[in-house]
Amino acid sequence: MFKRIDHTEIVPTNYERTIKFYTEVLGFQAKLRKKIGRPPLEEIIYLTLGDTMVEVMSVKSPAPVPAVQYQVGYKRIALEVDDMDKAIAYLKSKGVTISVPPVTMETSRRAEIVDPDGLSIELRQWMGARP
């Protein structure tokens, strides 16, 4: 009945800056950009990376990002990388903040970066088969 997560929605403070970050830094491709005109929702764009999709929503006067790290709700998205060291070096060269440096776990390496609004993005490199 249920197949997969279709997409994740992001409401940024600066719509164009966020689109630029996800496309120019992380390599997402713009698939559909559409004016909505149902206040406070102004416009949406669907960005894809492989079979992953993010919907970025332009909203008039969005509320700020909550200051509390652990609260009820969705916490972050995670992107799989082929090579953690190369990914981190690339992101640093683009001025991206590495909020949690790479650590090796049992079957993977993980790190965290933040998008232009400080939203957390996990990076994961699987060592061997993905669970």
Same domain, 21 and 54: yes
Q: Annotate the chain with three-state secondary structure.
A: CCCCCCCEEECCCCHHHHHHHHHHHCCCEEEEEEEEEECCEEEEEEEEECCEEEEEEEECCCCCCCCCCCCCCCCCEEEECCCHHHHHHHHHHCCCCEEEEEEECCCEEEEEEECCCCCEEEEEEECCCCC
Q: What is the pLDDT of residues 57-107, one digit of tens each?
A: 999 999 988 888 788 778 899 999 999 999 999 999 999 999 999 999 999
Same domain, 86 and 128: yes
Number of domains comprising the chain? 2
Are 51 and 80 in a shared domain? no
> Which CATH number does the domain housing residue 110 bear?
3.10.180.10
- Are 79 and 55 in a shared domain? no
Residue 125 belongs to a domain: yes
Residues 41 and 88 in one domain: no
**How does pLDDT run across 8-41, given as a tens digit for each residue?**
999 999 999 999 999 999 999 999 999 998 999 9
The model's pLDDT over 38-52, given as tens digits with 9 standing for 90+, comes to: 999 999 999 999 999
Q: Tell me what pLDDT residue 44 has.
A: 98
* Arithmetic mean of pLDDT, 107-122: 95
